[in-house]
Amino acid sequence: MTRQPKITFIGAGSTVFMKNIIGDVLQRPSLSAATIALMDVNPERLAESEIVAGKLVRTLGVKAKIETHSNQLKALEGADFVVVAFQIGGYEPCTVTDFEVPKKYGLRQTIADTLGVGGIMRGLRTVPHLWKICEDMLEVCPKAILLQYVNPMAINTWAIAEKYPTIRQVGLCHSVQGTAFELARDLDIPVEEIRYRAAGINHMAFYLKFEHRQKDGSYRDLYPDLIRGYREGRFPKPSHWNPRCQNKVRYEMLTRLGYFVTESSEHFAEYTPYFIKDGRPDLIEKFGIPLDEYPKRCIEQIERWKGQAAAYKEAETIEVAESHEYASSIMNSVWTGEPSVIYGNLRNKGCITSLPENCAAEVPCLVDASGIQPTYIGALPPQLTALIRTNINVQELTVQALVTENREHLYHAAMMDPHTAAELDLDQIWSLVDDLLAAHRDWIPEWARVSKKVQAA
Q: What is the pLDDT of residue 406?
A: 98
Q: What is the pLDDT of residue 63?
A: 97
112 and 294 in contact (C-beta within 8 Å)?
A: yes
pLDDT tens-place string over residues 241-274? 899 999 999 999 999 999 999 999 999 999 999 9
Q: Which CATH superfamily is domain 6-172+313-321 in?
A: AglA-like glucosidase (3.90.1820.10)
For this structure, is 324 an active site residue? Answer: no
* Residue 152 DSSP label: S
Q: What is the pLDDT of residue 455?
A: 43
Give the separation between CA 400 and CA 117, rounded to whole angstroms.
Answer: 16
Q: How confident is the model at residue 456 (pLDDT cuts 50, 70, 90)?
A: very low
pLDDT above 50: residue 104: yes
* Residue 385 DSSP label: H
**CA 69-328-314 angle, 5° bins:** 55
Q: How confident is the model at residue 452 (pLDDT cuts 50, 70, 90)?
A: low
HSE of 311 in the Cβ direction (CA atoms, 13 Å)? 8
Give the separation between CA 310 and CA 315, rounded to whole angstroms.
Answer: 9
Q: What is the pLDDT of residue 313?
A: 79
Q: Where are the beta strands (DSSP E) in 141-237?
A: 145-148, 168-171, 194-201, 204-213, 219-221
DSSP 302-329: HHHHHHHHHHHHH-SS------S-SHHH
61 and 31 in contact (C-beta within 8 Å)?
A: no
pLDDT tens-place string over residues 391-406? 999 999 999 999 999 9
pLDDT above 70: residue 220: yes
pLDDT tens-place string over residues 50-100? 999 999 999 999 999 999 999 999 999 999 999 999 999 999 999 999 999
Q: How confident is the model at residue 170 (pLDDT cuts 50, 70, 90)?
A: very high
Q: What is the pLDDT of residue 318?
A: 87
* Pairing relationship of beta strands 219-221 and 204-213 according to DSSP bridges: antiparallel
Across the strands, what pairs with 194? 212
> Closest by alpha carbon to 24, among 330, 342, 321?
321
Please give the mean pLDDT across all residues of the chain.
Answer: 96
- 46, amino acid identity: L
pLDDT tens-place string over residues 281-334? 999 999 999 999 999 999 998 888 888 878 887 888 888 888 889 999 999 999
332 and 30 in contact (C-beta within 8 Å)?
A: yes
> Closest by alpha carbon to 336, among 328, 324, 344?
328
Give the separation between CA 352 and CA 358, rounded to whole angstroms.
Answer: 11
> Closest by alpha carbon to 397, among 413, 411, 381, 382?
413
- Tell me the average pLDDT across 418-424: 98
Residues in the chain: 457
- Tell me the average pLDDT across 214-236: 98
- Tell me the average pLDDT across 162-182: 97
* Residue 448 DSSP label: G
Give the separation between CA 151 and CA 271, rounded to whole angstroms.
Answer: 14
pLDDT tens-place string over residues 185-214? 999 999 999 999 999 999 999 999 999 999
In the set 69, 129, 174, 267, the catalytic residue is 174
Give the chain's end-to-end CA distance (angstroms, integer): 68
- CA-CA distances (angstroms) from residue 49 to 9, 136, 244, 307, 319? 11, 23, 30, 14, 15
Q: What is the pLDDT of residue 130?
A: 98
| Element (DSSP H or E) covering residue 124 | helix 116-140
> Closest by alpha carbon to 18, among 41, 44, 38?
38
pLDDT tens-place string over residues 128-169? 999 999 999 999 999 999 999 999 999 999 999 999 999 999
What are φ and ψ of residue 455, in 5° steps?
Answer: -80, 140
**CA 235-241-247 angle, 5° bins:** 35
Give the separation between CA 99 and CA 111, rounded to whole angstroms.
Answer: 9
**CA 272-398-364 angle, 5° bins:** 65
Does 165 sit behind a cis peptide bond, omega within 30 degrees of 0 on the bond before it? no
* Residue 88 DSSP label: T
pLDDT above 60: residue 368: yes
Residues 6+ apart with CB under 8 A from 419: 107, 109, 115, 116, 270, 271, 272, 273, 276
* Residue 92 DSSP label: I
Give the separation between CA 217 and CA 210, rounded to whole angstroms.
Answer: 15
pLDDT above 90: residue 420: yes
Q: Where are the beta strands (DSSP E) in 302-443?
A: 340-347, 360-368, 371-374
pLDDT above 70: residue 453: no
pLDDT above 90: residue 454: no
Domain boundaries, the chain: 6-172+313-321, 391-443
Percent of the residues in the chain that have a pLDDT greater than 70, as a whole number: 98
31 and 5 in contact (C-beta within 8 Å)?
A: yes
- Tell me the average pLDDT across 174-191: 97
- CA-CA distances (angstroms) from residue 224 to 204, 209, 252, 258? 21, 12, 14, 10
Q: What is the pLDDT of residue 322?
A: 87
30 and 333 in contact (C-beta within 8 Å)?
A: no
* Residue 260 DSSP label: -
pLDDT above 90: residue 1: no
Q: Which residues are annotated as a binding site for substrate?
A: 151
Give the separation between CA 457 and CA 454, rounded to whole angstroms.
Answer: 9
